[in-house]
Structure 1
């Protein structure tokens, strides 16, 4: 039987895509690209907005 997780609002800063990889245009000696991994600083890489404190108290988290 599936376990249903509570619906949490999507982070409005990253729209649910909390981790992205950006190419710098440079290449390593082996020919692969130099990449930067960037994590959303608002949701700390979860993709979900933080629940208000009153919602946490009501649900028992």
Structure 2
């Protein structure tokens, strides 16, 4: 959940702050928040993709 918050905050800050006259630390802060948000969110998106599922079921295969 915090990943979505960081991503939203970073994109909002980036959309309102980034210009040629803004200090680099403010742009860097926006990029840091976007990076943290994407990293935290990506972890949750990759996990279901890597879990082996049988077609037509909602349960993972039984372990032997």
Return the structure number with greater helix share: 2
| TM-score exceeds 0.5 | no
- TM-score, reference length from structure 1: 0.30
Return the structure number with greater strand share: 1
